[in-house]
Amino acid sequence: MTLRSVDAITMDGFKCFDHLRMELGQLTLVTGFNGGGKSTAIQPLLLLAQTLRLGILTALPLNGPMVKLGTAGDITPNEDGSLTNLTIEGQGTTISVKPKLRSGDRVLQLVESLSGALDTPLACSLSMLSYLGAIRIGPEDSFPIPEQFDTPDVGLDGRFAPYWYDHHVDEDVDEARRFPGEEASVYRKHLDAWLGSMFPGAQANVQNVVNLSQMNLQFRLSSLGAWRRPSNIGYGLTYVFPILVSLLSAKPGQIIIIDSPESHLHPSAQSQMGRILATFAQAGVQILVETHSDHLLNGVRLAIREQVLPSDCLRVHFFRGPKGRDHGVTTPSFGAGGEVYEWPDGFFDQNEKDLSRLAGWA
């Protein structure tokens, strides 16, 4: 396993947070109440990645391909319009941005240029960051080809996943990312194996329509079944496909952020998704996930218990809401058996609360 690319994100005076420092693991789960600040805590990472990818060194664009935050007034909680700092730590380097805030500005000038940090390993890692949002392109018949080909990135809504699948389909997969028990080494076989672990028998295929510069995606539910269009096979397969492509295609040490990987999945598949994320984190991909799924968390805990991922490689941050001590953020720790040492009220405990009420115990 390679060392993680980013160790921590710190924000001062950013949206709902006066000050927050969030440490990252090789696998990080961000969870908590709606409106608790989960997405806000991830946005500094996206802002820096977006800026570096656009090649901008003297300003901070608030609206781009990864994140859209509006204007200067939308990102500062302070009436005087001050924003202290956004900082990313990792690989022995710190990258900080201190923007000048003027009401209505959508591109914020920086007090200091990013040119000094441009050649650092951390800046390189941030520029390769891939973000897969919660809203996907859906079960379309055809998908476009990306304009950038240097870094595997399935796109915010997953639209480029078929391209990257086709790009890597006959290549060998790193041994640490292979599905246990699959004897073949090629990408196609292992994507199907991981897909089949959530949807038994399912397989994927992409047809490259060269003259139209588009990719056609197909699925089937058994090795002898007919290939079908995504719209005729179920939304879960289309939703999971870009996640698996992103994980299998990622470069060593690449940072992948996934919002709600559990959506549209049966509870058993959600648990398996947790194990998959743990496996690829241990294989060297740094993964940051925003999730509301106790099944996904339990899948990660089982992966720890089964020694797929060491417990010290996991960070879980629970967001109650931006108020009180530490802005309502707590960080439970985990043992080698997957046990949780601190269990805050509201932390994946609704099932127990509901069962207690049904049993007349509460």
C-alpha distances out from residue 337 to 275, 295, 303, 311, 317, Å: 14, 17, 9, 8, 19
114, part of any domain: yes
Confidence of residue 203 (pLDDT cuts 50, 70, 90): very high
| Domain boundary pick from 248, 265, 285 | 248
The reply to whether 111 and 5 lie within a common domain is yes
The reply to whether 184 and 285 lie within a common domain is no
pLDDT tens across 326-348, in order?
Answer: 678 999 999 999 999 988 888 88
Does residue 263 have a pLDDT over 90?
yes
pLDDT tens across 286-326, in order?
Answer: 999 999 999 999 999 999 999 999 999 999 999 987 665 56
- Secondary structure (3-state) at 303: helix
Cβ contact 136:239 at 8 Å: yes
**Total number of domains in the chain:** 2
133, part of any domain: no
Strands 286-290 and 255-259: parallel
Facing residues of 209 across strands?
214
Residue 325: the pLDDT is 57
Residue 77: the pLDDT is 66
- For the chain, give the mean pLDDT: 91
Residue 351: the pLDDT is 86
Does residue 118 have a pLDDT over 70?
yes
Q: Per-residue pLDDT averaged across 170-189, rounded? A: 97
The reply to whether 166 and 192 lie within a common domain is yes
Residue 147: the pLDDT is 84
User: Per residue in 7-25, is it b (16+ CB within 10 Å) or e — as a string?
Assistant: bebbbbbbbbbeebebebb
| Virtual torsion, Cα 131, 136, 137, 138, nearest 10 deg | 150
Angstrom distance (rounded) from CA 310 to CA 52: 32
Angstrom distance (rounded) from CA 163 to CA 67: 23
| Domain boundary pick from 225, 248, 271 | 248
Facing residues of 23 across strands?
8
Q: Per-residue pLDDT averaged across 264-277, rounded? A: 97
Highest mean pLDDT among 135-139, 209-213, 273-277: 273-277
273: domain range?
Answer: 1-128+251-362
The reply to whether 80 and 7 lie within a common domain is yes
Residue 359: the pLDDT is 86
Residue percentage of the chain with pLDDT more than 90: 71
Angstrom distance (rounded) from CA 241 to CA 291: 18
Residue 223: which region, alpha, beta or left (left: phi > 0; alpha: psi -120 to 50)? alpha
The reply to whether 287 and 331 lie within a common domain is yes
The reply to whether 87 and 108 lie within a common domain is yes
pLDDT tens across 37-89, in order?
Answer: 999 999 999 999 999 998 889 999 999 999 999 998 888 866 555 566 899 99
- Secondary structure (3-state) at 318: strand
The reply to whether 124 and 170 lie within a common domain is no
Residue 32: the pLDDT is 93
Confidence of residue 358 (pLDDT cuts 50, 70, 90): confident
